[in-house]
Amino acid sequence: MANENQTVVVLDFGGQYKELIARRVRECRVHSQILAGNTPIEKLKEIAPIGIILTGGPHSVYEESSPHTTKELFELGVPVLGICYGMQLMAYTLGGEVKSCKVSEYGTIDTFLDAPSALFEGLDKETVSLMSHTDYVARMPEGFKALAHTNDCPVAAMENTARRLYAVQFHPEVERTKNGTRLLHNFLYNVCGAKGDYNMDDFIKREIERIREQVGDRQVVLGLSGGVDSSVCAAILEKAIPNQLTCIFVDHGMMRKNEGDEIEEAFAGKSLNFVRVDAEKRFLTKLAGVTEPERKRKIIGEEFVRVFEEESSKFAGSFLAQGTIYPDVVESGLTTGAVIKSHHNVGGLPKDTKFIGLVEPLRSLFKDEVRALGRKLGLDERLVSRQPFPGPGLAVRCIGEITKERLDILRDADAIYRFELENADLHYSQYFAVLTDMRTVGVMGDGRTYNYVLGLRAVVTSDFMTAEYAHIPYDVLDRISSRIVNEVKGVSRVVYDITGKPPATIEWE
């Protein structure tokens, strides 16, 4: 059955930016859906997309083991845009030739547009684009013409207007490609005939109907952390099924300073049942002696569910709601991506859970979309713009063994760090402190100390899929470091993390 909204299908061939492509399409007010590259043609016909985008990927299309498609994909009469590997796949499948580059292109490359095209309307003839490829289209299929080149890539873009097939060797979805979003907008509106009928109001309406249909008159239990995701999840559930929602706030003892009380206060007076569980000792006992990050996450995830089951036992046959968002699913390796880290609400649920089903209203949304949804639902701005915080809390920012003493050290240092950044009117996408398991020698007064090294992290990002470290002014870093070392017992050295994502993740564990 076709979607109510016009839809563009993003076919995934292993590209790291597939989610970003889908997000950019939505930014252009067009609904997007990511499917595996080997999705049957019949499935695509059922969806009836107005356009199809083929993602990049790490493979060489001329190798037998690489993902392929059939000519039928390009005979559906639906406009297709191939990106990077997607371009090579289009050329290879339709009888062109793809070869290994003499000079591979990585990074921002000067790109020259050679011919007018609906794809390039409004773009400068000389621009820059992000390239990441070791193969190139050496010979285009019959009926195609070249649209652009670089110094080392003779066909940086191509088209067959009669068949509405377009392809670019570069990545228009990333910020480093100048006017890349405009190119995607051109494809959607100039080629696919998009009406721009997808927006957050539409999402709310559809999701509320879906929740009501799924839940009926049953009760729903939500693990509420007070973070953006779980808060927005609570808000849309409350709107969809008022008085059927119980929010269980598991105070596992790994929250930031004073955060438990602030969360309880924020959700007081709502048309939902709020339950706060003091489970600090229980969690710390389970985590005693555990230092491996994945084990921490799995232990905390399972313990969360155990607490939920105990607290919700009076609600026979209840649903479990989670604030899972799309990047959580991707990073946990539930698509074709590699496992980078697991999230407490993805893949960590025990098989013997007693909940009758799972409600995940935000599963298809990116973080910025979740915030936009929260504002539409009337949530307090302090909740909507709250700093991202992992489900396991400070457990994944406390490297090594988790103890109350070490958590208190981290809590105090993190509070100082966040206060000083906000006091200096510095606004970054995410910032937090990390307590390492390393000790170094220091001097306090006339005495020698041997205390912990504390790491500081701040990043700037638009999508949390990639990020750059924040350039905090030295005088602010100096003030933060001085306060932490002098006011937080147990820290003798402060360092600042200047690694981007990739190669690092935003969190340390």
pLDDT at 257 over 90: yes
Distances (CA, A) of 476 to 41, 78, 421, 490: 57, 54, 7, 22
pLDDT of residue 191: 97
Mean pLDDT check: name the lowest of 144-148, 225-229, 498-502.
Answer: 225-229
CB atoms within 10 A of CB 122: 10
Contact between 251 and 279 (Cβ < 8 Å): yes
Q: What average pLDDT does the segment 373-388 reach? A: 86
End-to-end CA distance of the chain: 42
Residue 113 bridge partners (DSSP): 148
- Nearest-angstrom CA–CA distance, 37 and 92: 15
Residue closest to 412 by CA, chosen among 476, 472, 479, 483 = 483
Each residue's pLDDT tens digit, 146-188: 999 998 899 999 999 999 999 999 999 988 888 999 999 999 9
User: Which residues 6+ apart lie within 8 Å of 200 measured at CB?
Assistant: 369, 372, 373, 376
Q: What average pLDDT does the segment 439-450 reach? A: 76
- Nearest-angstrom CA–CA distance, 406 and 398: 7
Q: What average pLDDT does the segment 212-239 reach? A: 92
Instruction: For residue 35, report the phi and psi dihedrals to the nearest 5 degrees.
Output: -130, 160
Mean pLDDT check: name the lowest of 16-20, 49-53, 74-78, 265-269.
Answer: 265-269
Residues 158-172: b if buried by 16+ CB within 10 A, e if exposed:
bbbeebbbbbbbbbb
- Nearest-angstrom CA–CA distance, 160 and 91: 11
Residue closest to 308 by CA, chosen among 257, 362, 243, 252 = 252
Strand spans (E) along 140-290: 145-149, 157-160, 165-168, 220-223, 245-251, 273-278
Domains of the chain: residue spans and CATH? 7-191 (3.40.50.880), 200-384 (3.40.50.620), 403-496 (3.30.300.10)
Residue closest to 172 by CA, chosen among 161, 151, 188, 160 = 188
Calculated CA dihedral for residues 423, 426, 427, 431, nearest 10 degrees:
-80
**pTM for this prediction:** 0.70
pLDDT of residue 350: 46
pLDDT of residue 349: 44
pLDDT at 1 over 60: no
Task: For residue 71, count CB atoms less than 10 angstroms from its CB and return exposed for 0-12, middle for 13-18, buried for 19 or more.
Answer: exposed
Each residue's pLDDT tens digit, 458-500: 999 876 778 999 999 999 999 999 999 999 999 999 999 999 9
pLDDT at 331 over 80: no
Instruction: Strand 165-168: give its sheet, edge to edge.
Output: 31-36, 7-12, 51-54, 80-83, 165-168, 157-160, 145-149, 97-113, 126-139
pLDDT at 329 over 80: no
pLDDT at 337 over 70: no
Each residue's pLDDT tens digit, 198-210: 889 988 998 999 9
Each residue's pLDDT tens digit, 82-104: 999 999 999 999 999 998 887 77
Contact between 231 and 257 (Cβ < 8 Å): no
pLDDT of residue 446: 61
Residue 31 bridge partners (DSSP): 7
Q: Which helix (H) or strand (E) holds 42?
A: helix 41-47
pLDDT of residue 333: 37
Percent of the chain at pLDDT above 90? 66
- Concatenate the DSSP letters of all residues of 147-168 into one string: EEE-SS-S-SEEEETTTTEEEE
pLDDT of residue 445: 64
Distances (CA, A) of 344 to 384, 406, 477: 21, 22, 32
Catalytic sites, residue numbers = 84, 171, 173
Instruction: For residue 395, report the phi and psi dihedrals to the nearest 5 degrees.
Output: -60, -30
Q: What average pLDDT does the segment 346-358 reach? A: 64
- Nearest-angstrom CA–CA distance, 410 and 455: 10
Instruction: Place 380 in a pLDDT band, splitting at 50, 70 and 90.
Output: confident
User: Which residues 6+ apart lie within 8 Å of 299 measured at CB?
Assistant: 286, 287, 290
Instruction: Place 447 in a pLDDT band, splitting at 50, 70 and 90.
Output: low
Average pLDDT, rounded, for the chain:
89
Contact between 178 and 127 (Cβ < 8 Å): yes
- Nearest-angstrom CA–CA distance, 78 and 74: 7
User: Which residues 6+ apart lie within 8 Å of 213 measured at CB?
Assistant: none
Instruction: Place 76 in a pLDDT band, splitting at 50, 70 and 90.
Output: very high
pLDDT at 268 over 90: no
pLDDT at 316 over 80: no
pLDDT of residue 48: 96
